[in-house]
Structure 1
């Protein structure tokens, strides 16, 4: 089966940079904190989030 073009389009919004949250417009209830090695906040490191996802979501 050949598919021409996109199957879907998602717009992720981050209005406040590293200290904000990212969300899909229209579904702000699923907002996630930004993952960055520049933030000194528990759970914000990319490796921490990757390990969490690997352990609980895979």
Structure 2
């Protein structure tokens, strides 16, 4: 599971970055990824929070 989990998280990370490019809020991003990429909002939220921790100056 390890490698596929890492690639899934990387995918979610990439999609969140795409949402940010389009100036979406966290909530908008969770909704869009749920609707169009079938990613559960909780997953998007967790990855988003980790990105915030790693990039405090950006967020």
Give the TM-score of the pair, scaled to structure 1: 0.29
Q: Which has the higher helix share?
A: 2
Give the TM-score of the pair, scaled to structure 2: 0.29
Structure number with bigger Rg = 1
